């Protein structure tokens, strides 16, 4: 089985690139961030602080996640409810980052992630795919861009959706999430020693996509 691991910070374009690449290469796209977001959403709905490790760990037995892979698109069912849109809210992203620092949550999701890669070719994106989840991945990519470039893209996206946005707030959120993801004790965001670094700070979407695709093709 071929597995492509794509890790990197928030807003580097991992999921949009990964989705498109998976479709072109005929692999199944697995979005692990969506799993952390689902746990974060459950904690918020239960009225718990996502950063309270003990409280979130106590919720885990009540959480059942089903990952449906339909037409190359992943749907996450949280106790039977399709939460694929609900998990995209900004506050759910922050909650995901908080529960992602919880070792019990990481252990809870690890088997699901590994099992998805056992019987199919996958392109999996996240923070620790190349370092922890699939250490023997066929190709590992660390996709990144400067915080400013990532904030600029996110800001443009929010504006295009007609949402109220302030560049400095978007940048501060990105920096806070980077800090949380890189400094946590369990599975911190870092480039695997054997991952290829792809920095898209100076590239537009099409250039980034072309570089990423070529990098993968060169390594499989």
The binding site for ATP consists of 8-16
| 105-144 footprint of ligand C5P as x/- string (CB under 6 A) | ---------------------xxx----------------
CB 30 within 8 A of CB 124: yes
CB of 166 to ligand C5P, least distance (A): 20
CB 28 within 8 A of CB 120: yes
Nearer to ligand C5P, 32 or 200 (CB): 32
DSSP 168-203: HHHHHHHHHHHHHHHH-SSS-----TTPEEEE-TT-
By CB under 6 A, the count of residues binding ligand C5P is 14
Q: Rg of the Cα trace of the chain?
A: 17
For tokens 């302030």, name the residue: 166
Contact call for residue 10 and ligand C5P (CB under 6 A) = yes
Contact call for residue 173 and ligand C5P (CB under 6 A) = no
Applying CB under 6 A, which of residues 3, 28, 32, 208 lies at the interface with ligand C5P? 32
Question: Under rule CB under 6 A, which residues in 85-104 are in contact with ligand C5P?
Answer: 93, 96-97, 100
CB of 27 to ligand C5P, least distance (A): 17
Q: Collect all residues with Cβ–Cβ distance below 8 Å to 7 and sequence separation of at least 6.
A: 14, 125, 126, 127, 128, 129, 130, 131, 140, 141, 142, 143, 189, 191, 192, 195
Applying CB under 6 A, which of residues 5, 28, 33, 102 lies at the interface with ligand C5P? 33
Applying CB under 6 A, which of residues 140, 150, 154, 177 lies at the interface with ligand C5P? 177
Distance CA 207, CA 217 (A): 15
Distance CA 124, CA 43 (A): 24
Choices 32-40, 62-70, 71-79, 205-213; region in contact with ligand C5P by CB under 6 A: 32-40
Applying CB under 6 A, which residues contact ligand C5P? 10, 32-33, 36-37, 93, 96-97, 100, 126-128, 177, 181
């Amino acid at each position: 089985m071929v597995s492509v691991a794509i890790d990197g910070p928030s807003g580097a374009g991992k999921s949009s690139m990964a989705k498109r690449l998976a479709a072109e290469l005929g692999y199944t796209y697995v979005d692990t961030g969506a799993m952390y977001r689902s746990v974060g959403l459950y904690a918020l709905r239960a009225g718990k602080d996502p950063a309270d490790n003990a409280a979130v760990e106590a919720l885990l037995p009540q959480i059942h996640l089903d990952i449906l892979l339909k037409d190359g698109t992943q749907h996450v069912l949280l106790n039977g409810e399709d939460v694929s849109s609900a998990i995209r809210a900004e506050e759910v992203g922050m909650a995901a980052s908080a529960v992602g620092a919880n070792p019990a949550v990481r252990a809870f999701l690890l088997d699901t992630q590994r099992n998805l890669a056992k019987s199919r070719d996958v392109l999996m994106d996240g923070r620790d795919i190349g370092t922890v989840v699939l250490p023997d991945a066929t190709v590992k990519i660390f996709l990144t861009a400067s915080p400013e470039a990532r904030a600029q893209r996110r800001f443009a996206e929010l504006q295009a959706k007609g949402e109220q946005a302030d560049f400095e707030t978007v940048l501060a959120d990105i920096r806070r999430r980077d800090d949380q993801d890189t400094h946590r004790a369990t599975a911190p965001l870092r480039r695997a020693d054997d991952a290829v670094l792809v920095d898209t700070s100076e590239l537009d979407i099409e250039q980034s996509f072309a570089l990423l695709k070529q990098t993968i093709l060169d390594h499989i």
